A and B are shown apart, each in its own frame.
Chain A
Amino acid sequence: MRGRDDEWTELMLSANAGDSIAYRRLLESVTPVLRAGARRGLARAGQPVDQAEDIVQEILLAVHLKRHTWDGTAPFAPWLLAIARNKLIDTLRRRGRRVFVDIDDFAETLPSEPPRETLPASEVTKHLEALPARQREVLQSIAVDSASIKDTAAKLSMSEGAVRVALHRGLSALAAKLRTV
C-alpha cells in the first residue's frame, strides 16, 4: 500500500497548493477505502451497512474542514484514517452502541469486493434542506447541477466572493448538523 499512500500524500500537497483537480482526485480515491471501512465497522456493530454512505460523507466533510491539521511533512493516510475512525465511533455512539475501538476497520487495505452500486446518502440531503436559503441554493447549484462558482454567481445574482462564502458556510453548517443528530 506504500504506493497508494505516497500518491495520496502528493495529491494532498498539490491540493493544499491550490490544485482543486488534485484535491478532487484525492477525495475520489479515498472514498472506496472509507466506504469499505464504514461497512466493516457497521457490520461488526450489528448495524445495517446501507448507512455506510452517510458515514463516508461525514468523514469527507471532516477531512475537508480539518485539512489544515494535516502536517504536510507526514504521510496522509494515518491522518485520514484517524479522522475516519473518529467519525465511525461517533456515529455508532450516537446510535447508542457500545463501541470498542477496532483499528482494523479502516486498515489500509483496498476493498476486496468490486465497487457495488452505492445508495445516495440521506443524512446530508435531509440537512441540506434545513440550511438557510442562500447556502442551500449555492450548494445545490454546485453539487447537484455541477455549475461552476462563476455560473452559480451569475444564476443567483451574487458576487463570486459571496458564492464562495455561502458554499463554505453551507459545508460547515452541514458538518455541524451531522455532528448533532
Chain B
Amino acid sequence: METDRLIQALAADGADRYRPVGQVLAASLLVALPVSAALLLSTLGLRPDLSQAMHNPFFDLKFVVTLALSLSAITVALHLSRPEATAKGWRLLLLAPLAILGLAIGAEAMLPHRTSAMTRLVGHNSMLCLGAIPVLSLPILGAALLGLRRGAPSRPVLVGAVAGMLSAGLAGTLYAAHCVDDSPLFVATWYTLATAIVAGIGALLGPRVLRY
C-alpha cells in the first residue's frame, strides 16, 4: 500500500482520541484493588488488634510509606508513558518512600526499646510478608500493565519495573493491615525486598506487554 493511501485511512479514523493513559490506568487499578483486598480478607484477614494498633504511629507510618511508594511510582509510570520522556530527575521521586523510612528508623532508634534492633528487623513473620505482598500484587500488576499499554513508553523494561513498584506499594498498603510488625526496620527490609521481587517481575513483563 502506498503511504499516502495509509495517511488517507488514518485521517478518516477520528475515534478513540481522548482517553489519556492516566484515566485508563486509574480505571484498571480500581478494578484490581478490590480483587486484591478480597484476597487478603478471605485468606489472611486483618490483624486482630487493629483498632489498638491505629494508635501506634509506627503502624500508621507503614501506610504512609506504601502509599508514598504507590503515588510516586504512578507518577513516574505516567511520565514515562510518553515516548519522548526521560527518566532523569523523575527517578528521584521513587526514593521518597525510602527517605520517609530513613527518618522513621532514626526516630524509632531514639525511643527506648525492650527488644533489640535485630529482633525488630527480623519481626514475627518476614516470610509471610515476602510471599503475601507479591501474591497480592499480581492482580494489581496485571491491571497496571494493561492500563499502561495505552501509553507509548520508550523504555518498557523500566516502566514495567515501575509498574511492579506501584503494584507492590498498593499491595503493601493492603498487607500492612494484616502485618503485626510495625518497626520501620522491618518495613525497610522485608517490604523493600518484596517490592524488588515485584519490580523484577514487572521488568520481565514490560517489554512483552508494553511494546507498541
Smallest CB–CB gap between B11 and chain A, Å? 4
Smallest CB-CB separation from A125: which chain B residue?
B1
CA distance A168 to B10 in the complex (A): 9
Chain A hits for B12, CB < 8 A: 20, 142, 148-149, 167
Interface residues of A, count at CB 8 A: 52
A179 interface residue (CB < 8 Å to B): yes
Complex interface: chain A residues within 8 A of B211 (CB): 90, 179
Q: Which residue of B lies closest to A139 (CB)?
A: B9
**How far, in whole Å, are A21 and B19 apart by their CA atoms in the complex?**
22
CB atoms of A144 and B17 under 8 A apart: no
What is the minimal beta-carbon distance from A124 to any residue of chain B, in angstroms? 5
Assess whether A120 is in contact with B2, with CB atoms less than 8 Å apart: yes
Which positions 91-146 of chain A face chain B at CB distance < 8 Å? 118, 120-121, 124-125, 128, 139, 142-144, 146
Nearest opposing residue in chain A for B21, CB measure? A69
Query: Closest CB of chain B to A55's CB: distance in Å?
Result: 11
- Whether the Cβ atoms of B212 and A62 lie closer than 8 Å is yes
Is A56 in contact with chain B by the CB < 8 A criterion? yes
- Give complex CA distance A85, B7 in Å: 20
B3 adjacent to A121 (CB under 8 Å): yes
- State the CA gap A179–B149 with chains docked (Å): 14
Closest-by-CB residue of B relative to A65 is B212
How many interface residues does chain B have, given as a range? 20 to 34
Taking CB atoms and an 8 Å cut-off, the chain A residues in 15-51 that contact chain B are 16, 18, 20-21, 23-24, 27-28, 31
Q: Given B8, B81, B152, which contacts A143 in the complex, CB threshold below 8 Å? A: B8
CB of A79 within 8 A of CB of B7, answer: no
Are B152 and A144 touching (Cβ within 8 A)? no
Min CB gap A65→B, angstroms: 7
Considering only CB atoms, which chain B residue lies closest to A17 in the complex? B17
Contact of A60 among B10, B20, B21, B150 (CB under 8 A): B10
B6 near A66: Cβ-Cβ < 8 Å: no
**Minimal Cβ-Cβ distance residue in B for A171:** B13
Query: Residue B1 contacts which of A74, A79, A143, A149 (CB distance < 8 angstroms)?
Result: A143
| Pairs across A and B, CB under 8 Å, 14 listed | A20-B11, A23-B10, A24-B11, A28-B7, A65-B212, A67-B17, A68-B150, A69-B152, A71-B82, A121-B3, A124-B1, A143-B1, A143-B6, A179-B211
Closest 7 CB pairs of A and B: A82-B83, A82-B84, A24-B11, A143-B9, A66-B152, A143-B5, A27-B7
Q: A-contacting residues of B (Cβ < 8 Å)?
A: 1-21, 81-84, 150-152, 154, 211-212
Chain A residues proximal to chain B, CB less than 8 Å: 16, 18, 20-21, 23-24, 27-28, 31, 53, 56-57, 60-62, 64-71, 74, 78-79, 81-83, 85-86, 90, 118, 120-121, 124-125, 128, 139, 142-144, 146, 148-149, 164-165, 167-168, 171, 175, 179
